[in-house]
Amino acid sequence: MADIFKDISFRWKTGSWLIKILYINIAVFILLRLGAVVAFFANIPFDKSWLYLIECPSSLSTLAYQPWGIITYMFAQYDVLHILFNMLWLYGFGRLFLEFNSQKQLLALYIYGGILGAATFMLGYNLLPRFEYSTGWLIGSSASVIAIVIATAVLNPNHKVGLLFIGQISLKWIAIITLGIFVLSLPGENAGGHMAHLGGALAGAIYGIMMRSGIDITKPFNRMLDACANFVSAIKDFKFKAPKMRNKAPKANKWSEKKEEATTDNKSTQSKEKATASPEDQADLDRILDKIKKSGYTALSAEEKKRLFDVSSRIK
């Protein structure tokens, strides 16, 4: 069990934003389901009303009391099939997206798709006569995932992927069929969800079209993200400088001074030795990293994973 948590921790630290987003969605899903299990065995009356705390409401007045819902909803799923299909699509198309785009662009587009999906959902509920006097709640990463799917298709329309029972098919046809399904499903029970899907698709289309024109619409978001990261880093590095106190202790003799200098030099040498990788460690690290680059992290044996974790922990 300890090795499993070590693997997860290492994948989180070294993984791309795609892996981090997958982990966050899965972790939130597990926490929500565990809450339901605890409520069941504790004989606590259970319904899904508490999910409203992390969902995005269609009412603007309700959103004003829980503005975080416009972000939290896109990282939460409660139904098993919902998270299964979303994560499969996210992983498959996310890897294709990262072949031609950066990790930061993927994260930004994920957020853009979720926000535009929520905006489309709220506009539909507040402007269309069909939803008059009704309130809806939005949950799931579908709008964010669809943004990545459509963006990948716009940037690489003729790239072919293999689908079960279908075979090779171009990304442009996947995008067209997906959008058609959403439009035709609007009169159904999940009309609000499908409106959000269309909003996410619009975000992906805008990103793809603008990128083909040489304009990256994710730059403002990534600049803001970098500024926040630099601010947090500056706070961590800040050290309070206390006023120097006079040393009233008697002056040490020359023998003591030489002894202290030798001790200081010895400690300095030891710390340098700890921070420097031995030739054997460096050779193992290079070999394992080459294997990850060629075959992926999952191709490593248990011994290689342990060796990688141990060496990377020693090298700072």
Condensed to tens digits (0 to 9), the pLDDT of residues 226-249 reads: 888 888 878 877 755 545 555 555
Whole-prediction pTM: 0.72
Report the pLDDT averaged over residues 178-198: 90
Q: Which of 137, 112, 111 is nearest to 122 (CA)?
A: 137
> Which residues touch 157 (CB under 8 Å, ≥6 apart)?
170, 171, 172, 175
Report the pLDDT averaged over residues 280-291: 75
192 and 282, same domain (yes or no): no
Q: Could you tell me the two tokens for 287?
A: 């070999």
Are residues 212 and 193 in contact, defined by beta-carbon separation less than 8 angstroms? no
135 and 279, same domain (yes or no): no
Domain C-terminal end among 195, 225, 255: 225
Res 190 pLDDT > 90: no
Q: In this structure, which amino acid lies at residue 119?
A: A
Average pLDDT for the chain: 82
Q: Which of 132-146, 171-185, 250-264, 275-289 has the lowest mean pLDDT?
A: 250-264
Res 206: pLDDT: 96
Rg (CA), the chain: 26
Query: Which of 7-11, 148-152, 180-184, 237-241 is the most confident on average?
Result: 148-152
Condensed to tens digits (0 to 9), the pLDDT of residues 247-266 reads: 555 554 544 445 455 454 54
Give 248 or 211, the one with higher predicted confidence. Answer: 211
For residue 25, CA distances in Å to 73, 193, 218, 289 come to: 10, 18, 22, 28
How many structural domains comprise the chain? 2
- Report the alpha-carbon distance of residue 147 to residue 104 in Å, rounded: 15
Report the pLDDT averaged over residues 179-203: 91
Residue 247 lies in a domain: no
Residue 245 lies in a domain: no
- Report the alpha-carbon distance of residue 248 to residue 242 in Å, rounded: 18
Domain C-terminal end among 192, 225, 258: 225
Residue 185 lies in a domain: yes
160 and 23, same domain (yes or no): yes
Res 95: pLDDT: 93
Q: Which of 15-24, 36-45, 107-116 has the lowest mean pLDDT?
A: 36-45
- Report the alpha-carbon distance of residue 134 to residue 264 in Å, rounded: 73
Q: Which residue has the tokens 């002056």?
A: 251
140 and 279, same domain (yes or no): no
Residue 46 lies in a domain: yes
Domain span including residue 193: 14-225
How many C-beta atoms surround the C-beta of residue 240 within 10 A?
4
Res 274 pLDDT > 50: no
Res 297: pLDDT: 66
Residue 257 lies in a domain: no
How many C-beta atoms surround the C-beta of residue 146 within 10 A?
29
48 and 182, same domain (yes or no): yes
Residue 214 sits in a domain whose CATH number is 1.20.1540.10
